[in-house]
Amino acid sequence: MSERLFDVAAADALLPMLRDLLPRLRASRQALIDASTRITDALAADGGGIAGGDWFEAQERLRADLMTLADEGILLRDPASGLVDFPAEVEGQRVFLCWRLGEERVAWFHGPQAGFSGRKPL
């Protein structure tokens, strides 16, 4: 299967889904970190004896949301800020359309090596 390339309209069309998914993904990630810390601390203190069901639930939610992004061809760059890239071509060059949670629309792009700090307006 070849990599999906987005235009701005296709990327913008996915923003409602991303506005729902990314905060949930961030919460699942944090729940997984918190549960891991709690379990590690319990093991160090008394050798265990603490239930880890919330760890498994958070891990499953996180996995499902990451699979949704992968299935759509969206690249998660920073789960904390909700930064994603959409593979694209601009003027025949391979680029990434760049969007971060809180932005109104996809309005930026950057080259493969530039990253967020090198993004330019479309």
5-14 exposure pattern, b = at least 16 Cβ within 10 A, e = fewer = ebebebbbeb
Tens of pLDDT along the chain (122 residues) come to: 568 999 999 999 999 999 999 999 999 988 888 887 777 766 655 655 555 667 788 889 899 999 999 999 999 999 999 999 999 998 889 999 999 999 999 999 999 998 888 999 99
**Residue 74, amino acid:** I
49-65 exposure pattern, b = at least 16 Cβ within 10 A, e = fewer = eeeeeebeebbebbeeb
Mapped onto helix, strand or coil, the DSSP state of residue 118 is helix
CB 114 within 8 A of CB 28: no
Instruction: Look at residues 99, 83, 113 and name the one whose alpha carbon lies nearest to residue 11.
Output: 99
The whole-model pTM stands at 0.83
